[in-house]
Chain A
Amino acid sequence: MLKKLLKRDLTATSRLFVPMLLVYVTASLIAKGLLELFISAGPETSGGGAISLLFILVFMYAAMFILYLVACILMTVIFIIYDFYKTMIKEESYLTHTLPVSSKQLLNSKMIIAFFWQCVTMLVTIVSVFMFMAGHINVGQIKEFFAPVFREIPYSYLVLSAVSLVLSLICGTLTFFVSMAIGHLNGKHPLITSIGVYTGIRIVMDVASAVFTVFFFDNKIKYTISSASYANGHVTANIYASYGNYIWNILSCLCTVALIVCFYWVTQYIFAKKINIE
């Protein structure tokens, strides 16, 4: 049944995401074209006459392109929220919740599809940036640029950071889902209640995070210095390789996992045991 749900959710969300990403790719191609035109026009581009018009055009387009990039990231989140709200709480929920599937399967499908589109949007963004730079920066230069970073940061730290990013994406999505699940219990004003719940959760999470950071910061510095001293004989700055940073990141990941488990359980419990589609 999960496969069938994934098929349904992917079809429904493609209708929103595919046009958005197509526009994004087209905008990237236009940006690339304008950049090439600007470069081929030569160093006097910023001078007077027709060429300065091209400069203004390129500048304006570049600004719009960056705005659209930000909008794409925002729209990805908005589309995920919109799809969940429409199919799990509003009219279409009459079909969703009468399908012969469990609330866990429904939630799993929504989460997998949300994660999929977040990854696709990130991938398209990265590809478009590389496409933009193509012909002007080669792979060797990129390697050279990142070489010091990779020398400083151990591989295990990069893996930990990647895990942390994935967990943050899942947790972020689940924060929206759990807010809407709790909000739907107020049958008359589910949207306003969901926004209120989300704001409340964010405040609690941010305060907890700030307290955690302040508490940990002192220890983190100590760990960093002691690890660096131990490794090098004097206090140097391979901050990434320090125990402090590892502990910091592992604790942060564990907290995120705890939140994911909590939000997932609450969301599926509400739709399984407290459903209230008025």
Chain B
Amino acid sequence: MTPVFECSHITKHYGAKAALSDINLTLEPGRIVGLLGPNGSGKTTLIKLAAGLLTPTSGTLTICGETIGPLTKSKVSYLPDKDYLSGWMSVSQVIDLFHDFYENFDRNKAYEMLNRLQIDPGQKLKTLSKGNREKVILILTMSRSADLYLLDEPIGGVDPAARDYILQTILTNYNENGTILISTHLISDVERILDEAVFLKNGTVSIHSAVDDIRNQYQKSVDELFREVFAC
């Protein structure tokens, strides 16, 4: 089976500083993978490389066997850590935009989720609260039946109740044949949904293992192991 995500000897420099160094990582379809590491460990850089927003300094990266380009972008659903939508657009206009460009976007699913959250589709994005804007972006991301979901800090900066809602939305809406790569440093919140964990430390993969194997091998939860590996 073709891996959904495969990078080989990926290095990314910002000027003289190496954000990622010789990363080798393969992810199979149908997995929920935690990309775990402290701030500045290279999580966002790796996700942006896969989304096509950055170019690696060296190495190769493929999605479903294809190098990054229009085809891989049609297969990847990306949730950035930034609010990237135009404030002047209404929620329904953004939904139309996604429906226009992504064949795997399910408009009905998006409207169902909006309805559950009681977000008016006619409302302009700039009039929504920050929390609701983030939810709209999550809805747009999860309304696609993608091969790979790249979720960059989806639960960062929100209260515990909102975290539960976000994780629930992810779990109930993703394409189960696809893979989710979720970056976070809030391990305890996501640990229960993960199949695999990738620890990024100073731009290198220090651990890549199934969550069950981590528990068996180290006799620790992922959160406990994280605290040990990244102890200051």
Contact = CB atoms under 8 A, between A and B. Distances in A.
B76 interface: yes
A30 interface: no
Contacts of B86: 12, 92
Interface string B58-93: 000000000001110110101010111110100001
Question: Mostly helix, strand, loop or mixed at chain A's interface?
Answer: loop
B84 A99 contact: no
A100 B102 contact: yes
Interface in A1-38: 1, 4, 7-8, 11-12, 15
Contact of B101 (A91, A100, A187): A100
Contacts of A276: 54-55
A95 B14 CA distance: 22
Given A91-B82, A95-B84, A275 B73 contact: no
A169 to B, nearest CB: 26
Contacts, number: 60
B48 interface: yes
User: Interface size bucket, B side?
Assistant: 20 to 34
B70 A278 contact: no
A92 B88 CA distance: 12
Interface string A101-130: 110000000000000000000000000000
B53 interface: yes
B83 A98 contact: no
B52 A94 contact: no
B84 A100 contact: no
Contacts of A187: 14
B97 interface: yes
Contacts of B54: 275-278
Nearest to A3: B100
B100 A4 contact: yes
Nearest to B74: A100
A36 to B, nearest CB: 38
Contact of B51 (A8, A91, A98, A278): A98
A94 B97 contact: no
Nearest to A11: B93
Interface in A84-102: 91-95, 97-102
Contact of A92 (B84, B93, B102): B84
Contacts of B48: 277
B70 A101 contact: yes
